[in-house]
Structure 1
Amino acid sequence: MVFLNRIYTRSGDGGETGLGDGRRVPKTDARIAAYGGVDELNTLLGVTAANVELPAAITPRIATIQNDLFDLGADLCVPETDTPPEHPPLRVTSEQVARLETWIDESNESLEPLTSFVLPGGSPAAAHLHNARAVCRRVEIGVCHLAAAETINEHSLAYLNRLSDLLFVWARYCNDAGNNDVLWVPGGER
């Protein structure tokens, strides 16, 4: 359980912040950038859910994903260690990744097959989901940068990779099952 009785602590005024294991690092650290990106993605999904009409099946799933993204932020906030910690940190699981795969498969069944790349847009819901997908890809790159420098939970990257796929499928679903997708026409505006 989280208990916050003070929002400001002044401990970050010098450009450092604390990790979940108590270590202090610069706010420019790759780990901070990685879970800061996860927070941005989570916020964007909240904005999407609050501002556009989504299919009934998607809305509760976005809430689940937002909770998962807090799990992912908590995971990234506590570095992996060879020594078992006294209190095991929260880690993203293979089950969370598998759940996204199930949702992708369920949603993709009803979509028209793709004949071209899809331009972000169409309905407002699809446009918001495409925006979230693009941010998710950027966040994934930030976590890849962290993974290149430090050991991270392997399910973290898998979760983000599946999430961007799910957001793409959901965007198509919100475009009348792909019937109203805006397709890329290579060189079509020359």
Structure 2
Amino acid sequence: MDVRFKVYTKTGDDGSSFSPLAGGRVPKDHPTMELSGALDEAVSAIGFARSLLPGELGDVDRELSRIQVLLFSAVTTLETRGKRNLVSDDDVKWMEDVSDARMEDVELFVVPSGHPAATAIHVARAVTRRLERVAVRVFREELSSDPGLHTALSVLNRSSSALFALAVHVNRRLGYREETFRP
């Protein structure tokens, strides 16, 4: 038997939503809801970028997929205040390795452009940086006292570097050169 669930509950019609982090219903503009929304935007933006990748870039698709999972894992670690520590220093190192392996020489400031997949990765990078800013705002006080939370924040921070390197790499592999800005 095919069981379906409804994607709407009608309980948010009053401007509130359930937040596991807050432990109950909160206004939809509550900082914990901002964090959930920023995560949703980031993983969706990466998913969109993945959908634009040509088939010959399956290796990049796999790296982007892992970044999506690591973003979910890092935010879960933050939201549970380290009770479910789903990221490690190995994950941070993996992001650094991706950045180092994929980064190519660029001049000054890169203006996102080129192949649609690379440009979409740049958009995902910018959205991921917003996720990091929201996480810092929500967890500012806990970050200094909990190494697990610090590792989760490091994953968020390194993800934007990895995404930048992947965007440049995709452009180069597909024969595009990025535009640069010289102040």
TM-score category by the smaller chain? 0.7 to 0.9
Q: Which residue of 1 aligns with 2:146?
A: none
Q: Deviations over 1:93-146 (max 9, x none)?
A: 3222221111112212xx2x3332111112222211111111111221111211
Q: Which residue of 1 aligns with 2:111?
A: 119
2:142 counterpart letter in structure 1 = T
**Structure 1 position 52, deviation (Å):** 3.4
In 1, distance between residues paired with 2:109 and 2:12? 44
Q: How many residues align?
A: 172
1:59 counterpart letter in structure 2 = D
Q: Which runs of 5+ in 1 are unaligned?
A: 82-87
In 2, distance between residues paired with 1:5 and 1:35? 21
Contact 1:39-1:73 within 8 A present in 2 as well: no
- 3-state SS of the aligned residue for 1:8? coil
Identity over aligned pairs, percent = 29
Structure 2 CA distance for partners of 1:142 and 1:119, relative to 1, 3 Å: same
Structure 2 CA distance for partners of 1:169 and 1:71, relative to 1, 3 Å: same
TM, length-normalised to structure 1: 0.77
TM, length-normalised to structure 2: 0.80
1:20 aligns with 2:20: yes
**Structure 1 position 179, deviation (Å):** 7.0
Q: Which runs of 5+ in 2 are unaligned?
A: 144-148
Q: RMSD in angstroms over aligned alpha carbons?
A: 2.5
2:26 counterpart letter in structure 1 = V
In 2, distance between residues paired with 1:63 and 1:128? 14
- 3-state SS of the aligned residue for 1:118? strand
In 1, distance between residues paired with 2:44 and 2:127? 11
